[in-house]
Chain A
Amino acid sequence: MTAVVDAEAVTKRYGEVLGLNGFSASFAEGITGLVGPNGAGKSTLFRLLAGQLKADQGRLTLLGQPAWGHGEFRHRVGYCPESPALFDWMTGNDLVTTLLRVDGFSRTEAAERSARAMTEVGLTQDGDRRVRVYSKGMRQRVKIAQCIAHDPELILLDEPLNGVDPVGRASLSALMRQLSSAGHHLIVSSHILYEVERLTDQIVMIANGQAIAQGDLHRIRDLIDSRPHVIDLETPDPRGLARALGAWDHVVSIEFVDAGRLRVMTRSPDTFYAALPGLVVTEGLTVRSVRSADDNLDAVFRYLSEGRR
């Protein structure tokens, strides 16, 4: 697949603070999730891509063009910033139409496109209300509307589901998939990992201003298979269970969490899960529950970011 965004050792400083620290990643066609905790550098990357900031070092291109560039090329990019701030004195329709006019669309076409975009984000009924009275979720929707209304090739959505209610999340996620099916490329950031996991398998993970992993979600899971996994076990006999598990060479550590719970770290979770039932039977042990901390993307991210420290 062709990369729509390429970053090579991109660094951005805010005085003494590093926003991005040698960030290198390729964002493929379709939907890519940019995943990382708050303060990881996601918004800095988006601002660089939107041409609002200039990288101090490194090379950053989108759609084959340098990110720090203005003018007509920007017509191919749509940007939905994270901040909820908007021109509060305008109505939703007015805002989207005016920004389309700024982009060079005629009055008629701007009005048509604005109406279509407002419908797509589910704001038709509230389009004539001032943005000032919009809820956070409605603000997110109008931000997305202005971002997609000019039909850009590349859509940058910084935390687009923030503040949107569950029903709205589902419809906006559906809209993102629909945009991707229609040939648009989307980069969607989030610090809530399951949101991205539901949207795409293609992710870039960022922490401390660096890309710590990228690619297919399953590939990332493979990537962490070599790293220890944490498994919590509930048992009435933690000492007996710990003694038995201690004999396994793939078990890295055993921790007594409380009177009835053990936390085991293993290098081979597949082997662990396969052998545990046999151990329980042969040793006559009782295990009430087994809970892996690696069930979701959150754990994947935690592993990877800790592995970089």
Chain B
Amino acid sequence: MTGQLDRLVTVAWMAFRGSVQGLRAIGLAAFALMPTLIVAGIASAHPSADTLAASAPLLFELLTLPIVAMVIILVLSVAQFRNEIDAEILVYLSARSVGRPTLVVGKYLGATAAALVFVLPASLLPLAVATLAGGTAYSASVPAAVAVAAVLATVAYGGFFLFLGLATRSALLVGLLFGFLWEELLPLLPGDVPRLTVIFYLRSYLSGAVSSGPLSGYGGAVPLTLALSVLVGIGLVFVVVGSAVLRYLETAPEKESA
């Protein structure tokens, strides 16, 4: 018999493999291509080199992070528990001798890795297309900051959405409301209210990591290290809370067979 780490890796690998195949994965891959296609469309209109170079980071901040990445992470994270409970297949894992926290952490790691398979290309390909199409070359800090922000978004949103999948039967709906109302509207409000959103810390991180261009100079941003800590912290806290929830959660659908 092997230890919890081996079991954790097995659960994570299973979650990853299940997430990156099938029709859902094809749909997510197509969705992830959207920012790249938009930048390609902009490039086809032959704008100036600076305008073209500015379009990709701007799109990352306004479309890729808050919509494309958020939806991809939501779909994959919620699927880990809620879909499996509803499909009556989580039982094959939860009825075994593996600890329930191991299941939560393993699935979180697997779903995070799987989400990055879609989110990283969605974040970086537009930059590559803009450069290849004649846009002004980016400094190394731009793609690096974009990549790190994509990872941080996956870590933070992934933890929260995984928890939602454990906490509510309407996880997808609640997740969409969170993404499109909470994350979109609260940053528009004055004072410290924007600090209650994940996107605030993502923009803060980008602002601290990139010295010029559309990603820099986010008004009211907190320091880079604080932003980074908060984003990682959000992911960890929700994984811990999710582990506690799963210990007491009934993982069978609430019905008697017909």
Contact = CB atoms under 8 A, between A and B. Distances in A.
A51 B99 CA distance: 13
B195 interface: no
Given A39-B258, A53-B252, A77 B95 contact: yes
Contacts of A54: 250
Contacts of A105: 1-2
Interface of B: 1-3, 6-7, 10-11, 14, 17-18, 21-22, 87-89, 91-100, 247, 250-252, 254-258
A30 interface: no
24 contacts: A14-B254, A39-B257, A43-B256, A52-B252, A70-B94, A70-B99, A72-B97, A74-B96, A75-B97, A79-B91, A83-B257, A85-B87, A85-B88, A86-B89, A86-B92, A90-B17, A98-B14, A99-B96, A101-B6, A102-B10, A102-B93, A106-B1, A106-B6, A146-B92
Chain A to chain B: the 3 pairs with minimum beta-carbon distance, closest first = A52-B252, A75-B97, A83-B88
Chain A interface SS verdict (over half) = loop
B86 to A, nearest CB: 10
B7 A102 contact: yes
Interface string A81-102: 1110111011000010011011
Interface in A12-65: 14-15, 17, 19, 38-39, 41-44, 47, 50-54
Contacts of B22: 89
Contacts of B91: 47, 50, 52, 79, 81
Contacts of A43: 256-257
A165 interface: no
Contact of B10 (A50, A77, A98): A98
B96 A52 contact: no
A256 interface: no
Given A50-B95, A79-B91, 11 more contacts: A43-B257, A50-B91, A52-B94, A52-B251, A70-B99, A70-B100, A85-B87, A98-B14, A101-B2, A102-B7, A102-B98
A22 B6 CA distance: 41
B75 to A, nearest CB: 16
A104 B6 contact: yes
A103 interface: yes
Given A14-B256, A70-B247, A51 B95 contact: yes
Contact of B1 (A41, A81, A104): A104
Interface string A276-294: 0000000000000000000
Which of B97, B99, B251 is packed against the most chain A CB atoms within 10 Å? B97
Contacts of B10: 98, 101-102
A72 B254 CA distance: 25
B89 to A, nearest CB: 5
Contacts of A87: 14, 18, 89, 92
A71 B89 contact: no
B256 A19 contact: yes
A273 interface: no
A106 B92 contact: no
A15 B97 CA distance: 29
A194 interface: no
A74 B21 CA distance: 30
A104 B97 contact: yes
A90 to B, nearest CB: 8
A302 to B, nearest CB: 20
Given A38-B257, A99-B92, A104-B1, A71 B252 contact: no
Interface in A172-227: none
Given A73-B97, A98-B14, A99-B96, A85 B89 contact: yes
Nearest to A49: B95
A79 B17 CA distance: 24
Nearest to A191: B257
Contacts of B254: 14-15, 53
Nearest to A87: B89
Given A52-B95, A81-B91, A104 B7 contact: yes
